[in-house]
Structure 1
Amino acid sequence: MVGPYRGLFSAPGTRGFVIAGFIGRMPMSMLGIGIVLLISALTGSYATAGAISATVALAFAIAAPLSGRLVDRFGQARILVPFVLLHGAALVTLMLCAAYGAPIWTLFVTGVVVGGSANSLGSMVRARWSHILGGSARLHTAFSFESVADEVIFVAGPALVTGLTTLVNLYAGLILTLVCTVAGTLAFALQRGTEPPSRPGPAQSGSPITIPGVALLSCVFLAMGAVFGSVDLITVAFAEDNGAKAASGLLLGSFAGGSMVSGLWYGFHAWTISLRHRFVRSLAVFAIGLTPILLIADTKIMAVALFFAGLAISPTIITGYALIERLVPAHLLTEGMSWISTAVGFGVAIGAWAGGRLTDSFGASNAYSFSFVAALLAVAIGVGGNTWLRTPEIGSSEVTSTAT
């Protein structure tokens, strides 16, 4: 599997922005669960914890396309630096409000600023790959690599923040989250050599969301985000119900581990099936894979089930970004990719809120039904509108040569 990935880092500067981008987006798997662990421990309510986590995700979802448009217009560095400094200050304020028992509404207010100032760094890393590789066949491999990197983050991040929060200090997980996001994002922004040029585009250019295929992908990823948000929160409660709350990060890491393995395989494979058909098939496998978690009451068996449930995540996300790259004009690429982050963010907000409510009302095992229904909805949307995802078939970029 290593073969296709060997030539990715030959271009000057690629290693630097990949490493910085990896560190800077570590918090995407740590922030939500860190907030849930902190607030649920302080208030004793998963509904409150889920609502605050949902507020952060919702604010990010609203702001991501706007910051993406600013990046396309003014460049990454000029937008990333002030945003990440504001984000860091807001996260410190949220932790201080929690530490000193400030009214609950202050946590929601600071949560809005935390989410609204967060950067969609994964989109910007992929935009750099697109700038460096252009229409090369290696772009598929680069997107696959980044999806694998995302899943490494989702394997390590939840386990790390859960361990720090439950075994060291309630605030330790969020402190590490703060350090990673500020240090990694600043290091990424300062690497100007690989930064894509700003592309203001025509003054009258509209938003990528008006493109039918982008709108469809956004709806699919909204439903998938609801799965992610609900599984994150419900799994913490499931582990606690089984007397193993500290293992909740490992359970979520297992979910991401399945996706990481499939991402490596997907990037290695030479594909002849069209992107849209790959996308639809991945969605179907995703829904099927979630079925067993509805029936499991044992923590160890759940870890195995979550691993298999995660196998379809990377292929779906990789093909989603590849479709966006073909559907969206170059001068709107970052904003177009940010719509995936926005859709997932909205979905995570809905999933965290619904998961918290259902967990408090019906128990964690029953609350997983929501995750399954959201996955079925993603499949229904993707299958029903897949004709909007037709893109020109580019022979050299449609497959990844194993000889690369």
Structure 2
Amino acid sequence: DDFGVGSVSIKTVFSYEGVIDDVAFMIGPAASVALAASIAPAAGLAFGGACYLLGCALLLSSRSTEPAEGWADGGQAAQPAAGAERPASLFVACPQVRVLFFLMLFLGALYGVLDTSTVTFAQELGFPIIASISLVLQASISVMSGMVFGAMRPRASLLRQFVAVCCLIGTAYCGLFLVRGVASFFVVVCAAALFYAPFLITLNTVCEASVPGARLTEGITWINAGMTFGLAVGPTVAGVFVDMYGSIAGLNTAAVFALMIPLTALACAGIVRRALP
């Protein structure tokens, strides 16, 4: 099928992508730990690098799945006219992309802080295995929620879905403020994991509806860059707070980033509304 503006199957595609991501999060850490423990500490890192290279090779060799040039314009390549200026970056030209970028940044920072804090939290409790169990449980829950959400056809408008998933995931992870032990930790992260895949799917769908079809890849790249930037910033921030105040301070920092998601979505709902049908 062709995908782009108005496609009814783009949501399903994003759902499959989210599910595959979560499966990788389930298998990757377990395989890495097993290799590092049974062979050598560097074996886990080498395994990750090999998977990365294999994935790149498979992607680059998949010529049959790449869109034809000008697919979004009825076969006419979306090129600027002779002498015309190059279009501005979507981050500059499209306020909706900026909103999505920062939402993904907050989510990435949240997970970066949470991962670092979880390891320290588990070590402080004397049960390092908690960190691995937590990751596998969250990924498993997210896989199931992604499959269910991808199969749904909600009657609510895309704007309402956008605001709802932002409020749900942010509010759920704000429960990290209340974590004081293993039980409360697992309740919070497992409940919040229900909304991870719907959040990603909905934001990708909003991006698809907000940008020209010929520039969808650029739009998706920008919001993924927000996630990557957040994942880079999060552990740095977490390291400082965890070293100074302990793992609970790190979990509280993750909750602050979580709170920023619904606040940003509610404050910028009007901006997002202007781009939606």
TM-score of the superposed pair, with normalisation by structure 1: 0.61
Q: Which residue of 2 aligns with 1:147?
A: 18
Aligned pairs for 1:366-385 within 5 A: 366-385=249-268
Residue 47 of structure 2 corresponds to residue 176 of structure 1: yes
Q: Which residue of 1 aligns with 2:89?
A: 207
User: In percent, how many aligned pairs have the same letter?
Assistant: 28
Give me the whole-angstrom Cα distance separating, in 2, the residues matched to 1:263 and 1:306: 16
User: Do the aligned residues in 2 keep the contact of 1:159 with 1:250 (CA within 8 Å)?
Assistant: no
Distance apart, 1:167 and its partner CA:
5.3
Query: Of 315, 323, 337, which residue of structure 1 is paired with 2:198?
Result: 315
Aligned pairs for 1:89-168 within 5 A: 130=3, 135-166=6-37, 168=39
Aligned pairs for 1:3-402 within 5 A: 130=3, 135-166=6-37, 168-198=39-69, 201-202=79-80, 204-210=86-92, 211-299=94-182, 302-390=185-273, 391-393=275-277
Segments of 4+ in structure 1 off by > 4 A? none
Q: Measured at CA, do residues 376 and 292 of structure 1 come closer, stay the same or move farther in structure 2, by a change above 3 Å?
A: closer
SS of residue in 1 equivalent to 2:224 = helix
User: Do the aligned residues in 1 keep the contact of 2:174 with 2:256 (CA within 8 Å)?
Assistant: no
Distance apart, 1:383 and its partner CA:
0.7
SS of residue in 2 equivalent to 1:333 = helix
Q: Which residue of 2 aligns with 1:80?
A: none
Q: How many residues align?
A: 264
Greater length-normalized contact order (CA 8 Å, ≥ 6 residues apart) = 2
Q: Measured at CA, do residues 388 and 292 of structure 1 come closer, stay the same or move farther in structure 2, by a change above 3 Å?
A: closer
Give me the whole-angstrom Cα distance separating, in 2, the residues matched to 1:222 and 1:214: 12
Q: Measured at CA, do residues 155 and 300 of structure 1 come closer, stay the same or move farther in structure 2, by a change above 3 Å?
A: farther
Distance apart, 1:168 and its partner CA:
4.2
Residue ranges of structure 2 left out of the alignment (5+ in a row): 71-77
CA RMSD, Structure 1 to Structure 2 (Å) = 2.1
Residue ranges of structure 1 left out of the alignment (5+ in a row): 1-10, 12-128, 394-404
Give me the whole-angstrom Cα distance separating, in 1, the residues matched to 2:34 and 2:178: 27
Give me the whole-angstrom Cα distance separating, in 2, the residues matched to 1:161 and 1:334: 31
User: Do the aligned residues in 1 keep the contact of 2:105 with 2:227 (CA within 8 Å)?
Assistant: yes
Give me the whole-angstrom Cα distance separating, in 2, the residues matched to 1:192 and 1:324: 25
TM-score of the superposed pair, with normalisation by structure 2: 0.87
Distance apart, 1:290 and its partner CA:
1.6
Distance apart, 1:353 and its partner CA:
0.5
User: Do the aligned residues in 2 keep the contact of 1:201 with 1:331 (CA within 8 Å)?
Assistant: no
Give me the whole-angstrom Cα distance separating, in 1, the residues matched to 2:33 and 2:223: 27
User: Do the aligned residues in 2 keep the contact of 1:165 with 1:173 (CA within 8 Å)?
Assistant: yes
User: Do the aligned residues in 1 keep the contact of 2:122 with 2:130 (CA within 8 Å)?
Assistant: yes
